[in-house]
Amino acid sequence: MLEFIWPWFLIVAIAPFFLKFGRPAEPDQKALWWPNITQFNQTEISIKLKRQSFSKHLIKLFLWISWLLLVIAIARPVWLGEPKVVTPSGRDLLIALDLSGSMQTADMKINQQAVDRLQAAKQVLDRFIKERKGDRIGIIVFGSKAYLQAPLSYDLDTIAQLVNETQIGFAGENTAIGDAIGLGIKRLANIDADKRVMILMTDGANTAGRVKPDQAAQFAAKQGVKIHTIGIGAEQMISQGFFGPRVINPSTDLDEELLQKIADMTEGQYFRAKSTQELESIYATLDELEPTPGEDQWQRPKTTLFNMIALGSLFFLFLALYTRWNAIRRGSF
What is the mean pLDDT of the segment spanning 95-117?
91
β-sheet bridge partners, residue 247: 238
For the sheet with 302-304, list strands across it: 2-4, 77-80, 302-304
Is the domain of 159 the same as that of 258? yes
Domain that holds residue 326: 43-82+300-333
What is the mean pLDDT of the segment spanning 64-93?
79
Is the domain of 327 the same as that of 249? no
Higher-confidence residue of 89 and 50: namely: 50
Is the domain of 218 the same as that of 98? yes
Rounded to whole angstroms, the Cα distance separating 324 from 63 reads: 11
Rounded to whole angstroms, the Cα distance separating 225 from 17 reads: 68
Is the domain of 246 the same as that of 164? yes
Tally of domains in the chain: 2
β-sheet bridge partners, residue 240: 245
Q: Per the domain annotation, does 264 fall within a domain?
A: yes
Is the domain of 137 the same as that of 209? yes
What is the mean pLDDT of the segment spanning 149-156?
89
CA 220 to chain centre: 27
Is the domain of 197 the same as that of 151? yes
Over 80: is that where the pLDDT of 275 sits? yes
Q: Per the domain annotation, does 178 fall within a domain?
A: yes
Q: Per the domain annotation, does 5 fall within a domain?
A: no
Is the domain of 160 the same as that of 246? yes
Q: How many CB atoms lie within 10 A of CB 255?
A: 19
Q: Per the domain annotation, does 27 fall within a domain?
A: no
Q: What is the mean pLDDT of the chain?
A: 83
Percent of the chain scored above 90 by pLDDT? 38
What is the mean pLDDT of the segment spanning 187-214?
87
Is the domain of 260 the same as that of 282? yes
Q: Which of 1-5, 179-183, 306-310 has the highest mean pLDDT?
A: 179-183
Q: Per the domain annotation, does 116 fall within a domain?
A: yes
- pLDDT tens figures, 116-150: 999 999 999 999 998 887 788 999 999 999 999 99
Q: Per the domain annotation, does 294 fall within a domain?
A: no
Percent of the chain scored above 70 by pLDDT? 81
Is the domain of 315 the same as that of 238? no
Is the domain of 76 the same as that of 93? no
What are the two backbone dihedrals, phi and then psi, of residue 83, each rounded to the nearest 5 degrees?
A: -60, 140
Is the domain of 121 the same as that of 218? yes
How confident is the model at residue 58, as a pLDDT?
84
Q: Per the domain annotation, does 23 fall within a domain?
A: no
How confident is the model at residue 249, as a pLDDT?
82
CATH number at residue 198: 3.40.50.410
Is the domain of 190 the same as that of 66? no
Higher-confidence residue of 250 and 220: namely: 220
Over 60: is that where the pLDDT of 185 sits? yes
Higher-confidence residue of 14 and 83: namely: 14
How confident is the model at residue 85, as a pLDDT?
61
Rounded to whole angstroms, the Cα distance separating 68 from 77 reads: 13
Higher-confidence residue of 21 and 280: namely: 280
Do strands 226-232 and 270-273 pair parallel, antiparallel, or not at all (unpaired)?
Answer: parallel
Q: Per the domain annotation, does 48 fall within a domain?
A: yes
How confident is the model at residue 42, as a pLDDT?
57
Of 254-258, 288-292, 321-325, least confident by mean pLDDT is 288-292
Rounded to whole angstroms, the Cα distance separating 137 from 152 reads: 5
